Structure 1
Amino acid sequence: MAVKLPKALTIAGLDSGGGAGITADLKTFHAMGVYGMVALTAVTAQNTLGVKAVQEVDPSIIEAQVNAVAEDIGIDAAKTGMLSSSPIMESVAKVIKRWGFPLVVDPVMYAKSGDPLMRRDAMETLRRAVIPLAKVVTPNVPEAESLSGVSIRNLDDARIAAKRIAEEFHPEIVIVKGGHLTGAESIDVVYFRDSGEFRELRAPRINTGNTHGTGCSFSAAIAAGLAKGMSAWDSIRQAKELITMAIQYSLPLGHGHGPVNPMSWIELRAYRYDAIVDLGNAVSMIKGKVRELIDPQGNGGIATTLPPPYAVNPSNVISVTWRDIEEGLPINVVTRSGGNRLVKYALGMVSGNSRLRALLLISGLSNLISRIKNALTTYEYDSSGDEYRLINSALNEAVRSLGKVPDAIHLTSINDLIIVGESATAVSSKLVNSLLVTR
C-alpha cells in the first residue's frame, strides 16, 4: 500500500550562503518530516555580510516549476519567499490560483543585511495579487509597517497593523513577528480575520546576532504543518517552537549575521539519543568496577556532551554518578548529587576542544588515581577555580606542553582525575585497560 507523504513547496530565491531562502526552507521541511519541493524565483550571490548580486528567474519558468511538481507529485501546502518583481508576483499568483493549495506568504523585502530583495514598484502587486491568496502572511515589523502604513513600536501598534493588513488585503491570518521589538520576550501578534481574534506567541528573547533565515524557517515551518494536515493555529504554534530552537542553537558562521539552525528540531533529539546509548554502553563496561570508584563525597561519575552547537547548554550534558550506577538508577539528562560538577567539567572540556565529547571523573581516591596515572598519559595541573575554568585551562596548557590531548588531566589541588575522550565508551575503555595493566 502506498504511503502518503506530506509535501510542501517553497517558491523563493536561492541564498548561496545557505542560511535563508530555499535552502532554509528545505531544511525546515525535512526537519518537520515533510517532503520539500522548489520553484526557484531568483539566484542571489549572498553570504552572512550581504547580497552581492541577484539574477531573477523568468516568470514563465517559475510557473513551469510549480506546474511540473503539482501535476506529478502534488502540493499539500506552499510558501512564498523572495518575489522580487511584479511580473514574478503575477505569475506566482496565477499558478497558485490554478492549483488552490494552502499558502503561507513571507513578504520578503530585505535580506538580514538590509539589502533590498524586492523592487519598489512591486509592493503594490504584492498587496493586490499575492497577499489576498494567503492563508497566513508573516511580516516582520519593517514589512508590516510597509504593508499597513502603521509605525510599530509596541504590541498595540502591532495589533493595529495586523488588523489593517487583514482588512485591506484579506489574508485569513496575519502574524506580525516581534523580533524587531524590544523586551525580555519575543512576542508575535496573530490576528484571525474571520473571527477578529488576537492571539500571542511568546518565547524568551535570545541574545544572538545569528538570525539569518529566521523568517524563511518560520514561514516554512507553518507551511509544513499545513501540509501535514494540522490546523493553522497548531501549525503556527509549532513553527514558533521550531524557530525558537533554531535561534537558540544558531550557527556562528561567517563574519556577519550567521544562520539559524532549523535542523536542531531533529538533530537535538537524535544526538541526545546517541549520547544516552553511548553512556549506557560505557556504564555496562565498568559496572563491575563501580564500587572501587566511589569516593565519600560522591563526586565521581561519567558524562558525555552533545556536539557543537548543542554542547553549550547544561541540559545537553548526559551524566551519571558512580552512586547512581551502584544504586541501579537509570541514566538521565537530569543530574543528581555530584552531577553539577560533572556538567561543569564537561562543558569546560568541550569548549576547549570540540573533538572531546566525554569524560570520566575519579575524585579523592589517591591510591586508585596513582594506579591509573601509571597507565595513562596524564597531565598534572595545579591551580584553583571553578570546574569549568579548571578543565579548560588544564587542557589548553596540556596541549601546548605535550603537543597533543592527554588521556587524562590530574587536578592536583583538588585531587580530581579526569579521563577525557571522544565518547563515553572510549573513556570507559581507558579506565578498564588502565586497571588491568596496574592490578
Structure 2
Amino acid sequence: MIRKALTIAGSDSGGGAGIQADLKTFAALGVHGMSVITSITAQNTYEVRAVHDVPLDVIKAQFEAVVEDIGVDAAKTGMLSNSAIIELVASLISKYGVTLVVDPVMIAKSGAPLLREDAVDTLVKRLIPLATVITPNKPEAERLSGIKISSLDDAKVVAKKLVEELGAKAAVVKGGHMSGGESIDVLYYEGRFYEFRAPRIESRNTHGTGCSFSAAITAELAKGRSIPEAVKLAKEFITTAIMYGLPIGRGYGPINPTAWQLIPAEKFNILVELKNSVGVLESSGKYVNPLIPETPSYIVMALPKHYARDINAVAGTPIVRLWGSVKAVVEPGFGVCREFGELLLKVMEFNPDVRALMSIKYNEKLVEVVSRLGFKKLSIGLREALRSGGLGIYSEELSKELDVIFDEGGWGLEPLTMVLGRNSLEVTEKVLKIGREYVEGKER
C-alpha cells in the first residue's frame, strides 16, 4: 500500500524549510508527499524578503483536490500566517477527519515573524484541539503555554499543559533551543512522559529542523506507527539531517533530509563496486600478483567527502598473493581497513574528488613504470607525516590531480605505492595498467 502524507505550509524559495523540507522528508521516509501551499515566501538562508499569503479559495481548492482524489493518511501544518488561514485549515481538518501534526511555526530561522500576533489565539482555540501531535520548540512552547522553560521538568509541565488544557492528543516539546550536551525532546501522551535523547550537534546548518521533524512524525504516522514510535524515529531522522546539514548560503544553511536515504544507498553502491573491483583484480591476477607488497594490499573506497566523517565511512578489503594470482581475504566491509581508511580520509581533506585508494608495492622498477605510463605522481612520506601530526605541509601538492603517491616508508613502515582514483573501479584500471606494464612492458 502506498502511504500518503500532506503538508499544509508555506513555500521557502531557498529550499531549506516549509513544504520543500517537508516533501524531501516524506520522500526520504518512503511516503508519497503532497502539498497545500498557504503562503509564498521570498526567503534564503539569512532573511525573509517578502511574504504572499495564498487566497483562501485557492488553499481550500488545493486541500479538497488532494483529499477527494488521492486521500491522506496523515497531514501536518507549518506556516499558517493569519487567523483566516488557520480557521479555514481547522474547518477542513474537522470536515475530513485527517490525522494531524501541528508544527506551530511562529518565527523563521532568520528571526522574521511567520505568524501574526493576533493569530496565536486562533491557533490555540481552533487548531491545537485537532492535533494528534503538536511539536513546538522552546520559544513556541513558552508562547503557547505562558510558562518559562528553564529545565527538563519545565518542558514536561508545558507538554502536559498542551495536552490536558489546550486539547492536543500528544505534545512534543523539543529541546533544540535548550542548553546542555544533549538535545532532549519530551513527549507527553496518554498520561505518560517519554524522553528522546541525542547528542547536541553544534552547527549553523539547522534551517528547516522543525519542519522536517514534524514531517518525519507525519510520515511515520501515515505508515501506521504509534505516536511514541513515530517521535522516536523522527528524532533519529532529524539528528542525521542536522549532522549532515548543507553549508550553503551566508546565513543558516539547511539541514539535509536526504542524508537518511543517501548514506545507506551510497554504502550499498560502494560495497557493490568494491566487489566488482575485487573480481576484476582476481581475474587478472597474473598482473596484480607481482604488485602485492610483503604485507597485504588494501583497496578502500569512501563515501563522498561531506558524508565521510570517520573510518566507518570507508569500506575496503585486504588482498593477498595466492598461487600466482591474488585473492581478497574477506568480503569488503565498512570500518575494517583502519590504516588505509584513515589515510584516504586525510587525502580527501585536500582533494575531495579522490574517493578510492589501493596500496601496492614500491620499488624502482615500479617508479619507472608509473613514469612511462604518464600518471600524475607525488613522492612524500605520507604515513610518516600522519604519524607526526598531519599532512598540512603537503596541502598544496595533495590538492592537485594525482594518480599515484610514492611513500618510501619509515621506521616500521614498509615502502608502498598508493594508487588513487574517484572510485574503486578507476583505481583498479590504473593498477591493471601498472601491472601489465610491470610484467610485460619494456623501456621505450
Residues 286 and 394 of structure 1: CA distance in aligned 2, closer, same or farther (over 3 Å): farther
What amino acid is aligned across from residue 13 of structure 2 in structure 1?
Answer: S
Q: Please give the alpha-carbon distance, in whole angstroms, between the structure 1 residues aligned to 2:393 and 2:71.
A: 56
The answer to whether the 8 Å contact 1:8/1:36 transfers is yes
Structure 2 residue identity aligned to 1:232 = I
Counterpart residue number, 2:379: 380
- SS class of match (1:84): coil
Structure 2 counterparts to residues 193-208 of structure 1, below 5 A: 195-208=190-203
Task: Tell me the secondary structure at the aligned position of residue 194 of structure 2.
Answer: strand
Separation in 2 of the partners of 1:406 and 1:133? 60
SS at match of 2:334: coil
Measured after TM superposition, the shift of residue 396 of structure 1 is 3.1
Is residue 211–residue 247 contact of structure 1 (8 Å, CA) maintained in 2?
A: yes
Alpha-carbon offset, residue 416 of structure 1: 3.2
The aligned counterpart of 2:347 is 349
- How far residue 35 of structure 1 moved from its aligned partner, in angstroms, is 0.6
**SS class of match (2:90):** helix
Find the counterpart in structure 2 of residue 85 from structure 1. Answer: 82
Could you tell me whether the CA contact under 8 Å between 1:132 and 1:171 is conserved in 2? yes
Structure 1 position 366, deviation (Å): 6.1
Q: C-alpha separation between the residues in 2 aligned to 1:334 and 1:313?
A: 9
Please give the per-residue CA displacement for 1:366-403, whole angstroms capped at 9, x wherever unaligned.
6555544543331222574217976675463155xxxx
Shift of 1:346: 1.5
Distance 1:394 1:118, change over 3 A: same
Q: 1:281-328: per-residue Cα shift (whole Å, max 9, x none)?
A: 111121225654444454x41111111421223211112222598463
Q: Which residue of 1 aligns with 2:357?
A: 359
Taking only the aligned residue pairs, the percentage that are identical comes to 44
Opposite residue 329 of structure 2, the aligned amino acid is G
Between the aligned partners of 1:158 and 1:416, the Cα distance in structure 2 is 58
Count of residues paired in the alignment: 426
Pairing 1:332–2:333 present: yes
Contact persistence 1:84–1:118 (CA under 8 A):
yes
Unaligned runs of 5+ in 1: none
Q: Which residue of 2 aligns with 1:167?
A: 164
- Whole-angstrom CA distance in 1 between matches of 2:211 and 2:133: 13
1:341–1:387 CA contact under 8 A, matched in 2: no
Q: 1:138 to 1:422 in 2, by over 3 A?
A: same
> 2:362 and 2:181 mapped to 1: Cα distance?
43
For 2:300, which of 294, 300, 303 is the aligned residue? 303
Match of 1:321 among 312, 318, 322: 318
C-alpha distance after superposition, 1:51-86 (max 9, x if no partner): 111111112211111111001111111000001100
Aligned to 1:14: 11
Residue by residue over 1:389-428, the C-alpha shift from the partner in whole angstroms, topping out at 9 and shown as x without a partner, is 76675463155xxxx5121112345433211111101001
Q: How does 1:2-401 map to 2 (within 5 A)?
A: 4-192=1-189, 195-287=190-282, 288=285, 291-298=289-296, 300-323=297-320, 326=327, 328-335=329-336, 339-362=337-360, 368=366, 371-372=369-370, 374-375=372-373, 376-382=375-381, 384-386=384-386, 394=394, 396-397=396-397
Tell me if 1:429 matches 2:426. Answer: no
Range with greater deviation from structure 2 (84-93 or 367-376): 367-376
For the 8 Å contact 1:348–1:389, the answer to whether it is kept is no
Which residue is 2:442 aligned to?
Answer: none
CA contact (8 A) 2:74 2:219 kept: yes
SS at match of 1:385: helix
Q: Residue 14 of structure 1: SS of its match in structure 2?
A: strand
CA distance in 2, matches of 1:264, 1:133: 32
Matching residue's letter, 1:80: T
| Alpha-carbon RMSD | 2.1
Contact 1:44 1:55 in 2 (8 A): yes
* Residue in 1 that maps onto 2:420: 420
Residues 106-139 of structure 1: per-residue CA shift (max 9 Å, x gap): 0001111221111011110110011110000000
Could you tell me whether the CA contact under 8 Å between 1:13 and 1:40 is conserved in 2?
A: yes
Q: Residues 398 and 234 of structure 1: is their aligned pair in 2 closer, same or farther, counting only changes over 3 Å?
A: closer
> Partner amino acid for 1:340?
R
Q: Unaligned regions of 5+ residues in structure 2, if any?
A: 440-444
Secondary structure of 2:252 counterpart:
coil
Distance in 2 (CA, whole Å) between partners of 1:34 and 1:310 is 24
